[in-house]
Structure formats: structure tokens, C-alpha cells
Structure 1
Amino acid sequence: MAKAIYTNVPRQLSDILKDVRNGRIGLPDLQRPFVWKDNKVRDLYDSMLKGFPIGYIMLWESPVDYDDKKAAIGIGEKAYKVPKDLVIDGQQRLTALVASMYGETVKDKNFQDRRIRIGYKPQTKEFDVWTQAVENNPEYISDISEAFSAKENNTSGKFRKDFIRRLNESRIKRNELELSDEEEYQIEENINELLHLESYQIPSLEIAYSSSEEDVADIFVRVNSAGQKLTENDFILTLISVYEKDRRDQIDKFCADSRIPADKTSFNHLLSVDPSHLVRMTVGVGFRRARLRYAYMILRGKDLQSGITSEEIRESNLEIFKKALDKVVDLNNWHGYLNILKEAGYISDKLIASSNAVVFSYVLYLIAKYDYHMDSMRLRKLIRKWFFMAAITYFYTGNAESDVEKQFADMREFKTADELEAYLQRAIDARFTEDYFKITLPMELETSSAISPSWYGYLASQIVLGYPMLFSTTPLSHMFSAGASGTKNAVDKHHIFPKNYLAQIGIEKDRDRNQTGNFTYLDYNTNIHVSDRRPQEYVVAFREKLGDEEYFKTCSQHALPDNFEAMDYFEFIQKRRFLMAQIVKKAYQRLCNS
């Protein structure tokens, strides 16, 4: 039997929570988005009160060479300036308990502070999520943190008496009998049961600091915390939270700001940034690595070339990490890069099929700018072409980490900006071949998927070319501008051959009717006019209104074959897919020449 790398130590919940609050145990979840719903926290208390098991807590002892770190995890002043144990599994449970028992704030998905408030009904020993109704109901302790606070302050007796007094006053107002002595005694006992939850026994699996980061990381990504699969991202961000708190704060602030419109912040319309994005970017820029497993090795002080781990290497790695992160979160870099993507037609998150394309292209942008000192105009043009290609050809999907690792390995041989530019241009040319535009892209457009890089690329191409919506003078780009949608869209994605019309002629499968080759965007009034009429009917009115020259021009801009309205439907979408691919090619040529 293999030797276990952990020790099973049963502990009282109060001891674990005390160590979390004083900083001896590092619990980063108090600083990052808390994913549990409040009703799951309520159920956790219900299980504990009934004596059910709630799982174990897994801890990893910090290595001795971190003893001199001057940082603390969590909120407020800590008795320990550096955690001695790191929570590997059980972060969400401990966060839920610390926050709800002691009134600590957590972050929501938008990185805003919020409270977890759980109510308790002593008469029936029921828990409930806080609502205004719970707050107003005298039968409830509306927030259990008040009871635990009273216990900490040695005022539990007064707290219980006050609760009983308020409940009796409420009963008198409702012309009901006051509580009997037996009922008062039962309420006191049930409040005590609540407070005794701090004595709940929970298994603690403690991993020695001597265990390698590879072993612990493997454990981390294998274990489940109440069904919540842990990831490499979680592990890396946990390490940053514990050992580089200021950098974690910097990361979280950038991510939070990216979601809230405000000047001079990271807010943008393309990507709501997650901490994992910034870790990938930083490791890519600083260490030319794409695989996340390298990040936790770096943070633990491993030389990725020699495999040696030491305090000196750790300090050197952290210095590189910090400098790279500063480049990544520099707002001039960030917004300058996003403006390049907008020039490539990607002006909205509605056109982004993969965040990897945004993340890794940003890494290339920063490497070209800082390591190869590429001038700004040349850099803009290169990254503009690169992202356009990468987004539409699925370059960063599939085995993205392996592909980027190879790319980074190739780039280590380059000494000049000319070499880097030539290398990236060769990669673009290898994908944007004549066969790609004549065969591959039309085949990729043969899809009804709601998320399609080829469809988004076609729309981005129309934006690059400045085309208006079909049968309209309004630029398509306006459709994707902020605030374009309300309770009724100002524009609509519409079937060129309407769905109801196709059903009438026997084409009933949604996969056939919802082909990207059958879609376009119309403004609201045009959409109403088209409605469910067959193309031969609505085309007549628009051709008369626009005149032949403008009519054929708009058909060309929207890849509509001549006399499309009279075509067999399947012949139409086949020909249109080819024409859509030619519009993408034309947009790429525009990007090359502008």
C-alpha cells in the first residue's frame, strides 16, 4: 500500500475558524468571488445541526522559507503575518462559515462586497436565507452572526433574554399568549445548540510542507469540494493570495474594474477579465510559458530550466512575475491593445467566441512591444492581422496551451522585431490560404451553432469594411455599440429565408433553417417589413425603394447571390457561404493595406 502524504487530524470547527480569522490558516476565498448560493450555506448549517457529515478540510503546511513574508490573508489585522497552513480543499465551506458566523464580507461575481446572512428560528431549529420577511419576523434570529458575536462578547445570556422579550412583546401585540416557561427553556436550549456548532467535529487532512508542489497540485485538481471541481487556476490564485497578497489585490481590482463602466479603469466592451486571464497573461509575458502548471512551480521557487527549487530562485521568479503583471495591468497597454482589436472589427463581447484569443494575443502584443521594441504603427498592424486570423480560424481552441508553448519555444530564437514579424506573418499565411477562403471557411460556415467564430468573423469583416445593415443606411457596427439593446432590440438577427416560410415549403429542421448562411442583421423597421414573407415578395419593395444600383450594392455587401430570392434554399445557403468567405478575405486585405 502506498504511503499517504497526509495526516488525518480531527479538529473542532471553532479551532479551524479561529485559525482562519487570526491568519494561521490561509483562506483566500474571503477576497475572491464566492460561488455558493446562500441557500447552500443554509443547508450546510442544517446538516451540521442534525449531526450530518459535511466533508473534510485539507490543509497544506507552508514551507519554512516563507516565514519572513509580511503579508496576511483575509480581512483585518491578523495575529499571524503569514499563514502556516493553506486550505487546499474546503475553501467554500470555510468561507461560508466564517462569513455567516462572524459577519465577514465576501465578494460576489462582480467583485463587490456582500454579506451572507442566515436566519435561525429557535422554536423549530430551522435555518433560512435572510429576507426582509425574516428580518421582520420576531420568531427568527434574522442574522446568526449576532448570536455568535454575543457569545464572543460573553453576552449570550442577555442576547437570549432580549430575543425572548421581543418575541413576547410581539405575541402581546397580536393578542396571543406569552411564552410558557417550558417554551422559553426550549428556545434557550435551541439557541445554545446553534452556538455549540462551533464544537462540531470536522476531519482535517494535513499535508506536510515537504510534499512537492506537483503532488499537492495534483491533489488539488482531483479533489471535490461539495461537488465544486477545483482547478489549476484555483490553486495558483490561492498561492498568490497567500504569498503575494498585494499582487492578488492588484489582480482582483483590475478584474472588478473591467466589469464596471468608468473612465481610467480596465473597463471594456470585449472581455470581463477573470483572475485566471491575468495569471495566463503574466506567466506568458514574464516567462514565455502557456501551461498553467508552470505558474505554481514559478511561485514556489522552481527554475523551469534546471528543475532546482530555492529561496533565491523564488525571489527572482516573483520579481519577474511582478514586473510582468505591471505590464499586463498597465491601462495604456490594455486599452491600446483593445483598440487594435476594435480596428479588426471585434468591437463587442458578442463577437468573441474564445477568451483565449484575447488573452494570448495580448501576450504577443506585450512581448512584441517590450522584448522586441516594435514601433507602435507596425505593432498595431501586426496584432490587428494576427487577432483577426486567430479569432476566425479557432487558433486558440483545442490544444491551445501546447500550441502556444510551441510558439513561445520558436520565439526564443528570435533576436529582432523583423524576425518576430516574419514568423507571425508566416503563421497567418499558412492559415489564410486561397483554399481556406474557397473551401475551408465556407465549410466552417455550414453550422447552426449559436457560438461560431466563422460567423463572428464574417460580422467583424463587415464592420471592418464599414458596411450598413441589409436594406439600411445604418452601419452594422452600431448594432454592437453599448446600449443598442433594450426591451425590444433596435436591430434583429433575421432569417433571409424566414423560418415560417421554410416550414411551409417542407424544411422543418432547425439545423437547416438556422444555418449561419441564412442569417443577417436588420434594423427594427426593416425586420417588421420583412416579417415572414418569402424573399420574392419582400425583395420587390426594397428594390423599388433603393433603386437597382443601391440594391445590388447592398446584396453584394451581404453576400447575397444574384436573384437569390428565386433560388432553391439549399442552393442559396451554399452559394452565400462562399460569398461570405470572400467578404472575410476582402476585410483581411483591407487590414493588410491600411
Structure 2
Amino acid sequence: MKIFLKPEVWPIQQFIENITERDNYYLPSFQRDYVWDEDDVKSLIDSIIRGYPIGAIILWKPSDKDFIKGDPFSIPLIDTDGDNGGDYYYVIDGQQRLTSLLLLFNEWKIQRNGEEISLEPISLYPTPNGGYRLYKSDKRGIDISLLLKVFAEPGMSSLQIYNKLIAKYSEDYIKKAEPIIKRILEYKIPVYIMSTTREDPETVMEMAQAFIRINKEGVRIGNVELMLSLLAGKMGGLIRDTIYTSYKEIRDTGFEIQIQPLIRLVLSNFGFGQSQISHVERFASSLDTLAKYPADQIKPTLDKSVNAFKLAVRFIQRELPLPSAQLLPSQQTLVPLAKYFYTEDIAEFNNLSTEEIGKIKHWFILLNFIGYYSTSPDSKLEADLRAITESSGVFPYHELLRNVEQRKYPTKIKKDHFMRGRNVNVLKRSGRQYLFILYLLMAQNDADDWAGHPITRVPYKDLARHHIFPKEFLNQNLVIDDPTDKEIAINNLGNITLIDKHMNSEIGDLPLHDEDAQRYSGEDRGYISKIGLSESTLEKHFIPLDPDLWKLENYEEFLRERMELIYFTLRRAYPRIIG
């Protein structure tokens, strides 16, 4: 037995101190991106205050810390001033929750691998009867992060923050918040530490299987992704360094790719079959053999591969346009596109005909929407890469669609398939294809972020997934008994758009319609008239212009009407893939 499980329970405060001051926590490349927003974090904090379970954190502690330190594609959970001197861990499950807690304890900003991750403040409003309200802004209530600093450990810095707070709020108001903040500080998180006695290919396979079984977030990741992350260090120095440099260059543009698609392309161009990668022993042995090749035999193929991949990314950024790989339901769709550019020696896609560009775009959108590579990606990629290498100088659109058809996947997006977005929580991974389509159509519509900037010119990390009927407003006033049904009713495609983060926080839980604002919030106007959103702006976000549909009593009709507007734009923009 090479894997040992040790369950523990750590108070939040101790866990944060372990991460920032004692031990060293790293993310494998498949766990890299933080995708939660203020609504997610507000729900997490609310669960902690109420004493609800928030799930376990699962860590992998290798026997040799150099196993992690030697992985060129892992990154720290949070940047610290060098080695903390303690143990080394991979965060296998719980990255979103840990990152959220780090933001909570660090005034909503942290550095990760030299990049800033930030959120708008979550504030606490203690009510007179000992209760509380949470807000996605520091304009109502007190910033919880500051309150944690005051009550966590008394000291000079916490005294200074306390004095600033009582200058702005009454001392009694701060004291009312103390027992609520103590619930956060005393909350205990279950932590499972999976220790390994040695780190060989067989152990990697075991950890891959463990990850598949314990993962609760719906992340479709299998043996290949974990092995590519953890065995990347076995590749020769030139291959590893070139891949890493190119990978970092792409991420520096804000596109936020994962490493696996790039490694898949490179290995394919060195003769590796996608299915071959699944056999861990043979895969590791082949990497050892490849590492021994002379540099002059490797470099031309390697350079051509990374250039083809970069071109595929630029194509997606310009032609769709797509600002971040976080929007992609499957990043594996980049592999066949890059393979086509590699096979046909295409250095720039300006020379492609309008017809060919259209076919590539339609194929790319279709496969992402239907989730083609979500299951059994190895054999599907193998068949698609073969079709590309055997093509006669043009993108093999029809051959690739035949591969899709043979797997019993749809080759057209039918209306009823698209309308399922009305019955799916699009903020979860299982609904990502609908958020992907929504962004593309908003880009087609020249939609802005409600702060005066076209969304195509705004970094994706600065856009909030805004609930048109505010989430908290619906939570309080929408009468649906089943919690899952209620969650879907609030978070379905019909109620989501993308706007500026600060604007989203400013709106908070204020309703759309003036009458609802007066009835439920004690405000004179709903946020549409308060902000002064024009009809043109509303139309570009597919928001029906009939003010009666903005009332809570007509919420269901609003959703139906908005879904029709989105579908109409989809049919007009991409007729080739509409059935």
C-alpha cells in the first residue's frame, strides 16, 4: 500500500496560518484557475456562519518535497516570501474554497504566481436581534475581512483597524458583529491528507483514480490530465522549458489556458497517440526515451508545435472573439485546431478564406456546446487528429462532423437542446456551454459592461456573472420549495448576463422594476431606471423592453421571453450549426 489517508479537522484560522506562514501549498496545473465570484463567496461565508458543512479539503503529501518543487507546471496556492519551511502539499480538491478563504482573510486580494486575484468586499450587517445580512459591497454593513482582522488576534494592527471602524460606525455596532465573526474564526474544516510513500507512475495512476472518485465539483478530468500534470517533469529539459515558456506567454495575455492541451499537441507531433498516453507505464517509458533525443532533432518539431498552438489561441481570440479559456467548456478543442495549423504549415490565418474561417468557427462552437470531449477524449481526439493529418489542404469540416455523428452526438444545435439552458444552473460547470454561447452572442451584439466599455475590451476576470433579477432578491421572495429547483430558477441562462464587477456590487439586491423596489426594498426606483440603462443597452443583453416583465410576478414570462431573444440571435449568427 503506497497511499495512506489521514483525516484531520483544522480551525479556519489555523488553516490560513498553515498556508501563509508554515507549510507550502501548490496547485497541479489542472486545478489552476479560480472561477468563483462574489455570490459564491457570500454563500460560502453564510454557510460557515450558520455552521453548515462546506465540504472537505483534500491534500496530497508526497514523500519527497522535490516531487512538487520539481513540477514546472504547478503553482503556489498563494505567493509567500520563499519556502515557509514546512511540508509540501498538492491541493487535490477544494481550491475554490481555499482561495475564497484566503481572500476573506487578506482584504480580498492575494497574489498567485505573480498575478493578482481579487474580489469586491463582502460586508456584514448585524441586525438588532442577533441576526445578520450579507452584502456584496462595502457600502452597506462592515467589510468582513476587516472585522476578522480586528477579532482574530489582538495586536497593534488590529487596534488601528478597530479605531478606524469605530470612527465610521458606532462601537456598539462593531460589538454586535463580534459573536458572528467568532463563528467564522472557530469554524472547523475537515481535511484529508493523502500521503504517498513513493512517487512513481503507478502512484500517479492511483492518485488519478482517487481524484476522479473524490471530486465533487463536476470537473471532468481523468488519468491523462493528472499524469500530464505530474509527469511533465520527466520530459527533456528543452521540451519542458519550451512548453512552459510558451504556456506562460499565452497566459500572460489573459487567455488562461491549461497546460494539458498544449502538451497533448506536442506529444502528438512527436508520434504519441492520444490513447497511448492513458497507459501510464508505457507513457512514462516513452517520455524517458524522448528525453534522450538530441536537441537538434527535437527543436524544429517543438518550435513548430508551440507556434501552431499560439496561432490557434489567436484565432479564437480574434475570430469568435473569446477573451479567456475559462469560458471554454472544453479546452481540448484547441488541440485539433492547432494540429490543423501545424499540419498545413499555416503561419498566419489571414490567408484562410472566409468560408474556411466560418467552418472552423462553427465546428469549434458546436463541439464546445455539445461537450464532445467531456468523456472519452483520447479516442475522440485520436480520430479527429487522424482526419486532420489525412486532409487535403483544407479544414476537414465534414470529416470531423462525421466523427461526431458516429459517436451519436448531434451535429446541429436544436432549439429544444438550447432551451435546456432554462433548466440548468449555468454557473456550475455542467452549464458552462450556455455561458460560453451567451458571451459569444453578447460579443456579436456589441454589448457593453453597463459601465461604458464593450465587453470584448474588458478582461474576463473583471466581468461579473450578473443576475438580472438579483440573486438575494429572488432567494427572499421567490416561492419554490425544493432548494435545487430554486437554485436553477435563479441561476438559469434566462437570468444571467455579464457586466462590470463594480456595477454588479452597486446593484446588490435592488430589483429591476420601480414598483418592486418600492415594495420590497424601500427604494424609489429599480436599478434599470436608477442606473439609466438605455433600451439599446438592454437589447444587447437580450433583456425584454416591456417593463411589466421586470416585475417579480412575471419572472417566468421574463425568462421565456429572454431565452427566445437569445436563441433568435444564435440562429442568426451561426445558421450553419442550428437545426
The normalised TM-score by structure 1 is 0.50
The structure whose Rg is larger is 1
Change (3 A) 1:497 1:356: same
Cα distance 1:394–1:242, how it changes in 2: closer, same or farther (>3 A)? closer
Give the equivalent residue in structure 1 for 2:83.
116
Return the letter of the residue paired with 2:236. E
What is the match of residue 184 of structure 2?
none
d(CA) in 2 for partners of 1:437, 1:369 = 36
Q: Report 1:487-566 matches (<5 A).
A: 493-496=466-469, 499-500=472-473, 503-504=476-477, 506-507=479-480, 509-523=486-500, 524=502, 528=506, 532-535=510-513, 537=515, 551=535, 554-555=538-539, 557-558=541-542, 560=544, 562=546, 563-565=548-550
- CA 1:105–1:591 in 2, change beyond 3 Å: closer, same or farther? closer
Contact 2:319/2:361 (<8 A) preserved: yes
Determine the C-alpha separation between the residues in 2 that align with 1:238 and 1:540. 51
In the TM superposition, 1:161-310 aligns within 5 A as: 217-218=201-202, 220-222=204-206, 232=224, 241-242=233-234, 244-259=236-251, 267-274=252-259, 276-287=260-271, 289-291=273-275, 292-293=277-278, 297=282, 300=285
Q: SS where residue 532 of structure 1 aligns? A: coil
Aligned match of 2:448 in 464, 468, 472? 468
Q: Provide closer, same or farther for how the CA distance between residues 40 and 249 of structure 1 changes in structure 2, counting only shifts above 3 A.
A: same
One-letter amino acid matched to 2:455: L
Q: In structure 2, what is the equivalent of residue 161 of structure 1?
A: none
After superposition, give the CA deviation of every residue in 1:1-31 in whole Å (9 maximum; x if it has no partner).
xxxxxxxxxxxxxxxxxxxxxxxxxxxxxxx
C-alpha spacing 1:114/1:256, structure 2 compared with 1 (3 Å): farther
Residue among 294, 312, 324 paired with 1:348:
324
Assess, with a 3 A threshold, how the Cα gap between structure 1 residues 290 and 226 changes in structure 2: closer, same or farther.
closer
Distance 2:297 2:447 in 1: 45
Distance, in Å, in 2 between the alignment partners of 1:441 and 1:449 is 12
Q: Does 1:574 align with 2:546?
A: no
Q: Secondary structure at 2:396's aligned position in 1?
A: helix
Question: In structure 2, which of residues 33, 52, 63 is the aligned counterpart of residue 93 of structure 1?
Answer: 63
1:480-532 CA distances to partner (integer Å, 9 max, x unpaired)?
357x47xxxxx661333664256335347333222221122345568756952
| Equivalent in the alignment of 2:433 | 453
Q: What's 1:363 paired with?
A: 339
* Superposition deviation, residue 416 in structure 1: 0.7
- Residues 504 and 293 of structure 1: is their aligned pair in 2 closer, same or farther, counting only changes over 3 Å? closer
Amino acid at match of 2:511: R
**Distance change >3 Å, CA 582–CA 109, structure 1 → 2:** same
Q: Identity of aligned pairs, percent?
A: 13
Query: Which stretches in structure 1 are left out of the alignment for 5+ residues?
Result: 1-35, 43-89, 121-202, 207-215, 260-266, 303-309, 486-490
Partners of 1:403 and 1:561 in 2: CA distance: 44
* Cα distance in 2, alignment partners of residues 109 and 272 from structure 1: 14
Contact 2:421 2:494 in 1 (8 A): no
Could you tell me how far 1:109 is from its partner in structure 2?
A: 0.7
- Normalised by the size of structure 2, how large is the TM-score? 0.52
CA gap of 1:381–1:284, structure 2 versus 1, over 3 A, is: farther
Aligned residues: 387
Q: CA RMSD in A?
A: 5.5
Distance 1:590 1:315, change over 3 A: same
**Matched residue type, 2:557:** E
Distance 1:334-1:354 versus aligned 2 partners, 3 A rule? same
Q: Does 1:397 align with 2:374?
A: yes
* SS of structure 2 residue aligned to 1:417: coil
Structure 1 residue 586, shift from structure 2 partner: 2.7
Q: Which residue of 1 aligns with 2:122?
A: none
Spell out the pairing of 1:421-432 with structure 2 (5 A cutoff). Answer: 421-424=397-400, 431=410
Specify the SS of the correspondent of 1:560.
coil
Query: Counterpart in 1 of 2:39?
Result: none
1:383 CA drift (Å) = 3.0
Kept in 1: contact 2:425–2:491 (CA 8 A): yes
Distance 1:545 1:118 in 2: 51
3-state SS, counterpart of residue 416 of structure 1: coil
The residue that corresponds to 2:137 in the other structure is: none
What secondary structure sits across from 1:558 in the alignment?
A: coil
In the TM superposition, residue 439 of structure 1 has moved relative to its aligned partner by 0.7
Any conservation in 2 of the 1:462–1:587 contact (CA below 8 Å)? no
Match in the other structure for 1:168: none
C-alpha change, 1:367 and 1:458, in structure 2 (3 Å) is farther
1:334 to partner: Cα distance: 0.4
Distance in 2 between the 1:582 and 1:320 partners?
52
Q: Contact between 1:105 and 1:113, CA under 8 Å: does it hold in 2?
A: no
For structure 2, which runs of at least 5 residues remain unmatched after alignment?
1-18, 26-59, 88-195, 215-221, 518-524
Structure 1: distance between partners of 2:510 and 2:202: 56
Distance 1:286 1:367, change over 3 A: farther
Letter in 2 for 1:357: T
Q: Aligned equivalents of 1:396 and 1:439: distance in 2?
A: 22
Q: Tell me the SS of whatever aligns to 1:521.
A: strand
* Residues 278 and 377 of structure 1: CA distance in aligned 2, closer, same or farther (over 3 Å): same
The Cα offsets for residues 219-272 of structure 1, whole Å up to 9 and x where unpaired, read as: 65137999999955665677764562322222233334444xxxxxxx322224
**Residues 106 and 114 in structure 1, CA contact (< 8 A), matched pair in contact too:** no
